[in-house]
C-alpha cells in the first residue's frame, strides 16, 4: 500500500449522535484491520465493509485514504494515552512503592502499550519510515510518554547509581521503547535464537532497567505481584 501525503488531512467531526456512532465504527474498523491484517488491506472499501457504512459516510468526514488512516492513527494513539494514565496519578499514589517497584511498573506499562496491539504498532513502525506525518505524530506521542516516565521516576533519582541520573533515566527510556519497537516490528527471535515469550521479554527489560539505574538485578516478578494484590 502506498500513501501519498497531502494537505487534505482534516477530519470533519460528526455532530449528530447517529453520525458519531457511525464514525466510531469506522475508526474501530480501521484499527481492527491494521491489527489483524496489514497495511495493504487498509482500504476505504475494507473499512466500509467492516464498519457497515457507505463510502459516502467516510468521504463526508475525510478527503482521502491518507486522511482516514491518520484519523484512525490518532484514535489509536488516544486509546494508548488513556492506558498510560496508570503512570500519571498523583505522586502520593506511588509513595508506598519502592523505587524498584516503580521502575518495574514503568517498564511493564511501556512494554504493554505496544505488546498488546502488535499488528497495529508494526504497521505504524513500518509506515513511519516513508510517511512524514505518521512519523511526526508518533514522535510527539513517544516524547510525551518519555515525559510521563521521567515525571514518575524523577523523585527517585537520588537512588540511581550514576553521576548523571536524569540523563541516565532518559537513556534507559530510549533503550526500553526502542527494544520493544524492534521486538514488535520484527519478532522475538529476529536477532537471537533464544525462544522468548512476551512475559520473558518484559522480565528481561525490567532486569536491564534495574541493573542500569540501580545496579542490581530484578526481583520485580514478586514486586509487581505485590502491587497487583494491593490494587485488587
Q: How far apart are alpha carbons 2 and 76 in whole angstroms? A: 21
| H helix intervals, 15-154 | 17-36, 44-51, 55-59, 65-83, 99-115, 118-128, 132-153
Which domains are seen in the chain, by residue range? 17-61 (1.10.10.60), 74-231 (1.10.357)
At 87-107, the pLDDT tens digits run 998 878 899 999 999 999 999
Residue 51 in this model has a pLDDT that exceeds 70: yes
The whole-number pLDDT of residue 218 equals 61
Percent helix, percent strand, percent coil in the chain, to nearest 5: 75, 0, 25
Contact of 112 with 199, CB cutoff 8 Å: no
Q: How confident is the model at residue 18 (pLDDT cuts 50, 70, 90)?
A: confident
The whole-number pLDDT of residue 155 equals 93
At 140-172, the pLDDT tens digits run 999 999 999 999 999 999 999 888 999 999 999
The whole-number pLDDT of residue 224 equals 47
Region 46-71 average pLDDT:
92
Q: How confident is the model at residue 13 (pLDDT cuts 50, 70, 90)?
A: confident
Amino acid at each position: 500500500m502506498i500513501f501519498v501525503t497531502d494537505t487534505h488531512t482534516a477530519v470533519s467531526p460528526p455532530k449528530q449522535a447517529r453520525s458519531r456512532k457511525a464514525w466510531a465504527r469506522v475508526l474501530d474498523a480501521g484499527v481492527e484491520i491494521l491489527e489483524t491484517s496489514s497495511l495493504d488491506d487498509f482500504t476505504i472499501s475494507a473499512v466500509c465493509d467492516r464498519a457497515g457504512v457507505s463510502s459516502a459516510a467516510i468521504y463526508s468526514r475525510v478527503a482521502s485514504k491518507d486522511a482516514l488512516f491518520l484519523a484512525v492513527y490518532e484514535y489509536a494513539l488516544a486509546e494508548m494515552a488513556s492506558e498510560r494514565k496508570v503512570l500519571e496519578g498523583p505522586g502520593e499514589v506511588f509513595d508506598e512503592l519502592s523505587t524498584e517497584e516503580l521502575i518495574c511498573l514503568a517498564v511493564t506499562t511501556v512494554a504493554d502499550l505496544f505488546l498488546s496491539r502488535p499488528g497495529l504498532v508494526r504497521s505504524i513502525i513500518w509506515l513511519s519510515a516513508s510517511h512524514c506525518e505518521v512519523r511526526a505524530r508518533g514522535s510527539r506521542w513517544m516524547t510525551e510518554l518519555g515525559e510521563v516516565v521521567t515525571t514518575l521516576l524523577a523523585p527517585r533519582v537520588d537512588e540511581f547509581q550514576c553521576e548523571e541520573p536524569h540523563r541516565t533515566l532518559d537513556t534507559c527510556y530510549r533503550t526500553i521503547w526502542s527494544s520493544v519497537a524492534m521486538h514488535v516490528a520484527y519478532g522475538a527471535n529476529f536477532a537471537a535464537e533464544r525462544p522468548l515469550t512476551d512475559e520473558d521479554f518484559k522480565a528481561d527489560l525490567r532486569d536491564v532497567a534495574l541493573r542500569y539505574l540501580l545496579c542490581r538485578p530484578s526481583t520485580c516478578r514478586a514486586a509487581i505481584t505485590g502491587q497487583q494484590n494491593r490494587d485488587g
